[in-house]
Amino acid sequence: MKYVLITGAYGGMGYQTVKLFASKGFTVFALDKKVLEKEPNVVPIIVDFTDGQSIQNAFQQVKSLTDELFAIVHFAGIYTLDSLVEIADEDFEKVFKINLYGAFCVNKTFMPLLKSGSRIIMTTSELAPLDPLPFTGLYAISKSALDKYAYSLKMELQLLGIFVSVIRAGAVSTGMLKVSTDALDRFCEKTTTYKCNAEKFKQIVNGVESKSVRPEKLPKKH
């Protein structure tokens, strides 16, 4: 029996990955802030990825069932859309705690269960680190940091025979589009510095979405 741990397990890509591993006979530890009912070969565990103690509690639950993980697969993350000169300090910190600290803390905490031949798979972002749009800068910064963390971790863990891979996912049909649209709406309502610019940006984004993000152009979930 092989065991896999997945963070962000009940989001779009995360949940599809959980079902794939479970269908292949793996036992999957499905970590997320909100979980579903237990399914065959799936062990749901509620975790707050900003809280080290919560991650430690998850470790104890996993350790009670196995002393070795075949893989850790990371999908946990949060999207935000805000101005870098207006965002609240606690919101700035929250993005980094989930997108970067969460992955760091999970890897560090579960390291005793990784053996030579184990692997860590990090999902970062295809475009965000490369060309951030206005008001998406913090998301891009956090994903760029995660990207560099993953490659740095790869250089270290290869010395122990543990493989680290980075996935920059392309267009996938998940709930992210609605999340980004809702975030843009909230930003346009609250900004004072960019009131005019934000409305123009919203019109541009909505125009691009209507032309290029049509359901028939998105990959179907499997």
Q: pLDDT digits over 10-34, tens only?
A: 988 999 999 999 999 999 999 999 9
Query: For the segment 67-96, what is each residue's pLDDT rounded down to a tens digit?
Result: 999 999 999 998 888 889 999 999 999 999
Residue whose pair of structure tokens reads 């965000």 in the numeric block: 128
Local confidence band at 219 (pLDDT 50, 70, 90 cut-offs)? very low
Best mean pLDDT range from 119-128, 133-142, 202-211: 133-142
Q: Are strands 27-32 and 163-167 parallel, antiparallel or unpaired?
A: unpaired
Local confidence band at 177 (pLDDT 50, 70, 90 cut-offs)? low
Considering the domain 3-173, what is its CATH architecture?
3-Layer(aba) Sandwich (3.40)
The dihedrals phi and psi of 59, each to the nearest 5 degrees, come to: -60, -45
Global pTM value:
0.81
In angstroms, the CA 16 to CA 22 distance is 10
- The share of the chain scoring above pLDDT 90, in percent, equals 60
**Would you say residue 163 has pLDDT above 80?**
yes
Question: What token pair was written down for 46?
Answer: 């509620």
Q: Report which secondary-structure segment, H or E, holds 89.
A: helix 89-96
Q: Report which secondary-structure segment, H or E, holds 7.
A: strand 3-7
Q: CA separation (Å) from 44 to 73, 123, 170?
A: 15, 20, 27
Local confidence band at 8 (pLDDT 50, 70, 90 cut-offs)? very high
The answer to whether residues 49 and 76 touch, using CB atoms and an 8 Å cutoff, is yes
Alpha-carbon torsion (214, 98, 158, 156), positive or negative? positive
